[in-house]
A and B are shown apart, each in its own frame.
Chain A
Amino acid sequence: MKLTTLFASAAVALGLAAGGALAQDKTKVGFVYVGPVGDGGWTYEHDQGRKAVAEEFGDAVETVYVENVAEGPDAERVITQMALQGADLIFTTSFGYMDPTINVAAKFPDVKFEHATGYKRADNVSTYSARFYEGRAVQGTIAGHMTESNIIGYIGSYPIPEVIRGINSAYIHAKKVNPDVQFKIVWAFTWFDPAKEADAAKVLIEQGADVILQHTDSTAPQAAAQAAGNVITFGQASDMAEYGPKPRVSSIIDNWAPYYIARTKAVIDGTWTSTDTWDGIGPGMVGIGEISDAVPADVKAEALALKDAMAAGEYHPFTGPLKKQDGSDFLGEGETADDGTLAGMNFYVEGIEGSIPE
């Protein structure tokens, strides 16, 4: 009996403590990460964004994060926990968190959610993503010029539109400067698994690839390329500058900080609404890491010109004439792909071999 009383009073005390925390007017911002903050890639950059928010608002905001959250049921549990702990705004930073985010958001109408790279929205769920394919166009241009074996290896994560868009964009631009180029694609079925990514990179190198593009988050492919010698790579999501000037010759850098600060400010001001943001090189959400000296000056100049043209909105990476892999028409002469087509892209463009896993 005594024990029960003890538990009961403990529960009451805890409840009061939690209530007290909720009553504070500090804005609490939560982040859910798919990898560890030290991955040196995707999650690292999101955490840089979180730190920028903490610095910008100081004591007015409290940030919390949970790393290494598996996509699926685990994610739903973590997001729910965060909402229960009084978060006002929660960023879920991986594609696979889409349904968990929507499910939890339905249960917490007063909490605002921001889901990265997804397409499902609700009154309290916004989506945001970056036009990584613009960066892929720059990579493809450099890769097409730099390859001597004419074989470019590509490590895909999951066969989702975001990844397929990147493959297509890189291929179109590599082919433009080097008609003999060939892509070899390996699907790792993971966002972050250094062992698998290293194996995939090694296999691609053994099969003759001297350029490795990756759409996975760890630096393991960079290490594999370094060990192999005459292979170049590109930093993914983060600069990965520690592997430069070779194998890493350039990179796509995700810069989430301005967006995270703007959205946090909107919650503080009470002006937050559900939106769909998709920014590229122009607004600065996608950055191109410094192109190293391993790249010849004329190639570097061409890549930078392409980058500037995309930043200014003068050039779209998916500009016709383009055909799909099966030979059917995709875009006519001078036509550019609209965002809807891009968001749902589930086919390779003409010239890429192999099929997309179901």
Chain B
Amino acid sequence: MDLSAINPVLLIASLMVAATPLLLAAIGELVVEKSGVLNLGVEGMMITGAIAGFAAAVESGSPLAGFVVAAVAGAALSLLFAALTQVALANQVASGLALTLFGLGLSALLGQRYVGVKPPQMGRIDIPVLSDLPVVGPILFAHDVILYFGIALTGAVWAVLKFTRAGLVLRAVGENHEAAHALGYKVVRIRTLAILFGGACAGMGGAYISLIRVPQWTEGMTAGIGWIALALVVFASWKPWRALLGAYLFGGVTVVQLNLQAAGVAIPVEYLAMSPYLITILVLVILSADKSSAPASLGRSFHASR
């Protein structure tokens, strides 16, 4: 065993990369749930974003174009969910599950031609002096632009929910849709917009996996990250900064277990491989006592006549 082989600076830098797809998807889902809608289709929207972004990046040669297309594709798929749950008033849990299954199948179909293709590379932002700083440089100043976007988005969502009128309205719709309706807010429209935002974020999260983290396309490559993002929203008690913390924790455990393995730690590999999921479950159990902040209308359908 040789723990000194693990470089903590590089470890933190790579856990930030591992956490970003999770963070993007979780922030999107957080906004959706704040509006009172439970969309279990995150995994399906992520994988659809992953292939749509990958295909767009390969065809256009620009990774950024890939991310834009991924966001649009994720939003488009979530529009289907919005139509089912907001207009047709279908059950949200069933619709969300259907969305995931549909997304997995659709992405496999779309991806047929892209297996084994090499995508264009996304450059890192290199700030001349800052990137070369000893410890802080690799951690803070040597990443791709999407990673910073994810952190900025977390801040923006937090600020909007907490300080703006729009955030207040969104929360009102999520807490008590009848009261919000009585006040004259368009509940269905607001929820649909929130669902679209969630879809776009999930799509980008998926594209981050296929374009930056791996970078390659394979069927089912999101490998359950969408489900973890869902758990993460609960884990974070619907608070954006806690979602960031949770994403880094999960990303960290994922990276640390491989590091421990490479350093020859004598823990059976199987335990290390399941550790990220075990810790997710554990934290969920501990935090489940704190139910106070769940939006009161979460998962309930709304119709103006009732």
Residues A206 and B214 in contact, CB atoms below 8 Å apart: no
Q: What B residues does A271 contact at CB under 8 A? A: none
Instruction: Among A186, A206, A355, A358, point to the contact of B10 (Cβ < 8 A).
Output: A206
Residues A353 and B264 in contact, CB atoms below 8 Å apart: yes
B187 to chain A, nearest CB (A): 39
Residues A208 and B258 in contact, CB atoms below 8 Å apart: no
Sorting the interface of chain B by its residue count into under 10, 10 to 19, 20 to 34 or 35 or more gives 20 to 34
User: Binary interface profile of B, 97-123, with partner A (CB < 8 Å = 1, else 0)?
Assistant: 000000000000000000111100100
Q: What B residues does A198 contact at CB under 8 A? A: 213-216
Residues 163-197 (chain A) with a chain B CB within 8 angstroms: 184-187, 189, 192-195
CA distance A57 to B262 in the complex (A): 48
Residues 1-47 (chain A) with a chain B CB within 8 angstroms: 36-40, 44
Residues B262 and A39 in contact, CB atoms below 8 Å apart: no
User: Binary interface profile of B, 256-269, with partner A (CB < 8 Å = 1, else 0)?
Assistant: 00110111101011
* A218 part of interface (Cβ distance < 8 Å): yes
Q: What is the chain A residue whose CB lies nearest that of B6?
A: A207
CA distance A218 to B214 in the complex (A): 11
CA distance A198 to B214 in the complex (A): 6
> Contacts A36-B116, A187-B269, A189-B269 hold; do A218 and B216 have CB atoms under 8 A apart?
yes
User: Binary interface profile of A, 210-232, with partner B (CB < 8 Å = 1, else 0)?
Assistant: 00000000111001000100000
Instruction: Among B219, B221, B223, B269, point to the contact of A357 (Cβ < 8 A).
Output: B269
Instruction: Among B115, B209, B223, point to the contact of A38 (Cβ < 8 A).
Output: B115
Q: What A residues does B266 contact at CB under 8 A? A: 355
CA distance A202 to B14 in the complex (A): 8
B109 to chain A, nearest CB (A): 13
> Contacts A39-B116, A184-B262, A357-B268 hold; do A203 and B255 have CB atoms under 8 A apart?
yes
CA distance A220 to B115 in the complex (A): 12
Q: What A residues does B258 contact at CB under 8 A? A: 186, 199-200, 203
* A56 part of interface (Cβ distance < 8 Å): no
B30 to chain A, nearest CB (A): 24
Residues A206 and B116 in contact, CB atoms below 8 Å apart: no
Q: What is the chain B residue whose CB lies nearest that of A41?
A: B116
**Highest count of chain A CB atoms <10 Å: which of B10, B115, B215, B259:** B115
**Highest count of chain A CB atoms <10 Å: which of B6, B10, B259, B269:** B269
Instruction: Among B5, B254, B269, point to the contact of A199 (Cβ < 8 A).
Output: B254
CA distance A194 to B117 in the complex (A): 12
B91 to chain A, nearest CB (A): 31
* B218 part of interface (Cβ distance < 8 Å): yes
* A354 part of interface (Cβ distance < 8 Å): yes
Q: What is the chain A residue whose CB lies nearest that of B11?
A: A206
CA distance A39 to B117 in the complex (A): 9
Residues A184 and B264 in contact, CB atoms below 8 Å apart: yes
* A123 part of interface (Cβ distance < 8 Å): no
Q: What A residues does B219 contact at CB under 8 A? A: 36, 68
* B18 part of interface (Cβ distance < 8 Å): yes
Residues A218 and B218 in contact, CB atoms below 8 Å apart: yes
> Contacts A186-B261, A199-B18 hold; do A193 and B255 have CB atoms under 8 A apart?
no
Given A193-B218, A220-B216, 10 additional A-B pairs, CB 8 A:
A36-B115, A38-B116, A185-B262, A194-B216, A195-B223, A198-B214, A207-B263, A223-B214, A353-B264, A357-B268
Query: A residues engaging B (CB < 8 A)?
Result: 36-40, 44, 68, 153, 184-187, 189, 192-195, 198-200, 202-204, 206-208, 218-220, 223, 227, 242, 353-355, 357-358
Query: B residues engaging A (CB < 8 A)?
Result: 5-7, 10-11, 14, 18, 115-118, 121, 209, 213-216, 218-219, 221, 223, 254-255, 258-259, 261-264, 266, 268-270, 273
Top 10 nearest A-B pairs (CB, nearest first) are A38-B115, A38-B116, A203-B258, A206-B10, A194-B216, A354-B264, A40-B116, A36-B115, A357-B269, A207-B5
